[in-house]
Amino acid sequence: MRGLGFVEHGGLDRLQFVDVVEPVPGPGEVRVRIRAAAFNHLDRFTLGGIPGVPIERPHVLGSDGAGVVDSVGPGVDGWAPGQGVLLNPGLWDGTCDACRAHEESLCRNYRIVGEHTQGTATDFVVVPARNLHPRPATLGWPEAAASPLVFQTAWRALRTTGALRAGEQLAVIGAGGGTSTAVVQVGKLLGARVVVAARSRAKEETLRRLGADDFVTFDADHPLDRVLWQASQKQGFDVLFDSVGAPTLPKSVRAVARGGRVVVIGATAGPLVEVDVRTLFWRQASIRGSTMANAAEFQEVLAHLAAGRLRPLIDSTRPLEQGLEAFHRLESPDLLGKVVLTVP
Ligand SMILES: NC(=O)c1ccc[n+]([C@@H]2O[C@H](COP(=O)([O-])OP(=O)(O)OC[C@H]3O[C@@H](n4cnc5c(N)ncnc54)[C@H](OP(=O)(O)O)[C@@H]3O)[C@@H](O)[C@H]2O)c1
Ligand SMILES: [Zn+2]
On the question of pLDDT at 53 being above 90, the answer is no
Q: What is the CATH number of domain 2-147+312-342?
A: 3.90.180.10
The order of strands in the sheet holding 169-173 is 214-217, 193-198, 169-173, 237-242, 256-264, 286-289
Nearest-CA neighbor of 67 among 126, 135, 12, 119? Answer: 135
Q: Kindly report, residue by residue over 166-208, the tens digit of the pLDDT.
A: 999 999 999 999 999 999 999 999 999 999 999 999 999 999 9
Q: Kindly report, residue by residue over 149-162, the tens digit of the pLDDT.
A: 999 999 999 999 99
Ligand 1 centroid to Cα of residue 69, in Å, is: 31
Entry pTM: 0.98
CATH 3.90.180.10 placement within the chain: 2-147+312-342, 152-289
Atom of ligand 1 nearest to the CA of 45: 47
On the question of pLDDT at 164 being above 90, the answer is yes
Give nearest CA residue, ligand 1 atom 20: 41
What is the number of the ligand closest to the CA of 63?
Answer: 1
What is the number of the ligand closest to the CA of 315?
Answer: 1
On the question of pLDDT at 52 being above 90, the answer is no
- CB 89 near ligand 1, within 6 Å: no
- CB 256 near ligand 1, within 6 Å: no
Tell me the average pLDDT across 220-240. Answer: 98
**Residue 229's pLDDT is what?**
98
Looking at CATH, the fold of the domain delimited by 152-289 is given as Quinone Oxidoreductase; Chain A, domain 1 (3.90.180)
CA-CA distance, 261 to 190, in Å (whole number)? 16
Tell me the average pLDDT across 298-324. Answer: 98
On the question of pLDDT at 280 being above 90, the answer is yes
Give nearest CA residue, ligand 1 atom 27: 244
Question: How many other C-beta atoms can be found within 10 angstroms of the C-beta atom of residue 299?
Answer: 13
On the question of pLDDT at 54 being above 90, the answer is no
**Residue 36's pLDDT is what?**
98
Share above pLDDT 90 across residues of the chain, in percent, rounded to a whole number: 98
